[in-house]
A and B are shown apart, each in its own frame.
Chain A
Amino acid sequence: MAEATIPTFMRGKEKIMSLSDAVKTFIKPGTCICPGGFSYTKKPFALAREVIRQDIKDLFVTMNGGASICEFWAAAGLVKLLDTTYIGLEGIQPVAYSVRRSIQDGTIDVEDYSNYGYGLRTVAGRYGWPFAPLMSEFGTSFMDHDTFGKMGLRGKKADGSWIHPSIAPARAAVIEDPFDGWGLRPHAFEGGDGTSNKTNFLEQVRESTAYTGNKGVKVILVPPILPEVTIVLAQRVGELGTTRIEGILGPDAEQAISAKNCIVQTEKVVTEEELRAQPYSNNIAMQYVDAIVEVPYGGFPGQVPYYYDYDWDFWRSYTQINRKDKAEVNAYIKDWVMEDEWTFLSTRPGDGYPTITGTSGLERLFELRADAIYGYKPGLARPL
């Protein structure tokens, strides 16, 4: 029998790395990277900051679920391509200003999907499907705009290899439903439809000749996402990579599993035994995790459900900072991340923006501790 070689994704405890090593090993200039989390929740900010420290440029960012990490990267001038659904900071800033400015001034090229369209792409990526079926985006401008196509990034080179390994040969495709809309609800069940929707226009849709020229129910097919690296924040990770996410999952599990490599930033590395006592609560199987980085409070200034809340005061001030001159914002963000994460966490929280208590560093971080029952800090002061 041939001697067994241990595949890299089964390397066990070797996966536990320092923040700088994990970033150095997996993220290179031009890497197609997918940041996990959603807006302010469970965003792997420590990894994002390390990317800024190492100044890794020309990133191809593919993401949905809010632009907070992309905002920092765009401010640091690291993003070249963006495959996304939403570039806002939700309730704090409707459009993330650095991302917006970079798209307007030509530094970032962007391709747009809807959230469900992108979500289905992550599902297709997770399950290894060639595509997934989408029933919205019909009748919109998504259907006739394709940035990467116009840039010539889709398809194959003369030698038969993909022009870009993380860009599908088409943005989307439309087919006629071979099942004639049979699976769609409201549906003609005897005695009710099993939905709350009262509108059903399938008959009109069957008459439509849009997109294909033939009559019939249409379905949009979207390609999977195939990022090179996904970065994810999880509250706990076992020492071999078993990952448990508490609170909202967002797009994390699908994106992590879709990627070639996955780096998990965690609040605490624990024994596998601890998480395997209840395996049905775990979200990412061990072989999909390639690097584990333990950074308690590494989700600051975001929120990690049940551990700590977001730093409202930081974001409130940041939206003022990111509207300054581009060079000034760039200098600010590079200065803000400091030389390493521990120095950052003991200096920057509460630093350079007004807070009610005026505390800074770890003291500020402990002020943001969440209530274990609510998942957030009830009564957190959120002045506008």
Chain B
Amino acid sequence: MAVIRATDPKDWTHVDDTEYEAYCKERGIDPEKYTTMELLCIAAARQTYDYSFIFAGTGLPMIGCMMAQHTYAPNALIIMEAGILDPKLIEVPISVSEARGGYMCSTLSNMADTFGTFAQRGFCTFGMLGGAECDKYGNLNSTAMGGYYSKSARDDGKTGPTVRFAGSGGANNIASYADVGLAMMVQEKRRFPEVNEYITSVTGSRGPLGTEEDRYHKGLFRGAGTTIVSDLCIFRSSPETGELEMAEIYPGVDEQLVRENVSWELKTAKDFQPFTTPTHEEIKIARMVCDPNRIYLGRKTKRDLAAEK
């Protein structure tokens, strides 16, 4: 495993085994067994590679990009939209603007500047995002369900959307400019509809490739596909059609379960392969180096909670 840059003051990835065991014992977690969130974080980090530019959105991508920096992409440049380029992440940030995310970064500027100077100018390999809904062509909805409009702009007599989400933030822009959209999501059937009612971010082809509905015909001049890392499998967009296909499946997950949890007829990718089980080393780094407080890793999905019962 790659070691973080030699110029750094300490070897971040070294974790003492006795220390690790004591930590696990204190927290009551199995040192060998990974949780859903740990798996998501490890899977996302594995999608990245060294010397790339990772533009990380808020939420799960915070832990995803930190994991990438400490494992597979130590020399990747992380960008955070509030103005951060290439920070050294010692403690996991909870916001794309906070001082933990800005430590030892190359430049610290403002929001318009980050998107302009880095993303628009062409320094954005991976657009790491979270989302509430994802459809067959990799469109994310992080805005609203049950009608977008609020009361005064609606015609149907309702007081507002059924569920209002956070909105785009930088997600739309990150998805528009990145070579590869990389979204981290929890997979449930209702979160994976065939067509999103509201498109916040176009991470993939948007519609069938080569038609008037694809991202290029709508005016987006970059982006060649998307990878969606869910808690059951990894989806990749087909280079021919743009449709999301099952590309990797996690150990112990039944293919049927994946298919049951999307709303379209899911195809299997040509280069389909099983996902290599997270290693002891990866789990250790996720826990001890990235998120010892378990701010992100301690979260549980609905499936986790159901399994516990």
Contacts and interface: CB of A to CB of B under 8 A. Distances in A.
Q: Does A associate with B in a complex?
A: yes
Interface of A: 37-41, 64-66, 84-88, 90-92, 94-96, 100, 103-110, 112-117, 119-120, 122-123, 135-142, 145, 147-148, 150-151, 181, 184-186, 193-202, 204-205, 207-208, 210-211, 217-218, 247-254, 303, 305-306, 309-310, 370, 374-376, 378-384
B17 to A, nearest CB: 22
B115 A116 contact: yes
10 contacts: A91-B93, A103-B161, A106-B152, A112-B168, A116-B112, A199-B222, A202-B221, A210-B212, A210-B217, A384-B298
Nearest to A107: B151
Contacts of B215: 138-139, 201
Contacts of A310: 98
A94 to B, nearest CB: 6
Contacts of A376: 91, 98-100, 103
Contact of B217 (A202, A204, A250): A204
B52 interface: yes
Nearest to A375: B99
B148 A86 contact: no
B84 A248 contact: yes
A185 B102 contact: no
B52 A250 contact: no
Given A105-B159, A119-B111, A370 B99 contact: yes
A116 B168 CA distance: 10
Contacts of A103: 150, 160-161, 164
A87 B164 contact: yes
Nearest to B298: A384
A208 B111 contact: no
B102 A88 contact: no
A122 to B, nearest CB: 6
B292 to A, nearest CB: 9
B123 to A, nearest CB: 5
B283 interface: no
**Chief secondary structure at chain A's binding surface:** loop
Contacts of A384: 293-295, 298-299
A375 B200 contact: no
Contacts of A92: 94
Interface residues of B, number: 84
A66 B95 CA distance: 9
Given A91-B93, A196-B53, A205-B221, A110 B102 contact: no
B35 to A, nearest CB: 13
Given A86-B168, A100-B164, A254-B112, A138 B176 contact: yes
A91 B95 contact: yes
Given A87-B167, A91-B59, A384-B293, A196 B99 contact: no
A380 B169 CA distance: 27
B83 A88 contact: no
Contacts of A379: 91
Contacts of A104: 159-164
Given A91-B93, A113-B168, A140-B202, 20 more contacts: A41-B99, A87-B164, A106-B151, A106-B152, A114-B173, A120-B112, A120-B116, A135-B221, A138-B176, A139-B218, A141-B148, A147-B153, A148-B153, A196-B124, A207-B217, A375-B99, A376-B99, A382-B295, A384-B293, A384-B295
Contact of A208 (B99, B217, B223, B293): B217
A250 B177 CA distance: 20
Given A109-B152, A116-B115, A199-B222, A247 B108 contact: yes
Contacts, number: 301
A309 B102 CA distance: 13
Nearest to A211: B219
Nearest to A380: B91
A199 B99 contact: no
Contacts of B219: 135, 138-139, 205, 208, 210-211, 217-218
B169 A86 contact: yes
A354 B127 CA distance: 37
A15 B290 CA distance: 45
B280 to A, nearest CB: 24
A199 B152 contact: no
B122 A197 contact: yes
Given A87-B164, A247-B108, A378-B90, A137 B176 contact: yes
B220 interface: yes
B143 interface: yes
Contacts of A151: 152-153
A225 to B, nearest CB: 11
Given A91-B62, A91-B94, A116 B167 contact: no
Among B59, B95, B123, B206, chain A packs the most CB atoms within 10 A around the CB of: B95
Interface in B283-297: 293-296
A105 B167 CA distance: 17
Nearest to A123: B112
A303 B159 CA distance: 35
Interface string B162-204: 1111111111110111010000000000000000001111100
B143 A141 contact: yes
B238 interface: no
A55 B162 CA distance: 29
Nearest to A148: B153
Contacts of B223: 199, 201
Contacts of B143: 112, 141
Contacts of A66: 95, 97
A38 to B, nearest CB: 3
Contacts of A41: 82, 95, 97-99
Contacts of A94: 59, 165-166
Contact of B221 (A113, A193, A200): A200
Contacts of B58: 88, 90-91
The 10 closest A-B pairs by CB, nearest first: A195-B122, A91-B94, A106-B151, A139-B218, A136-B176, A119-B112, A88-B166, A38-B97, A106-B159, A138-B219
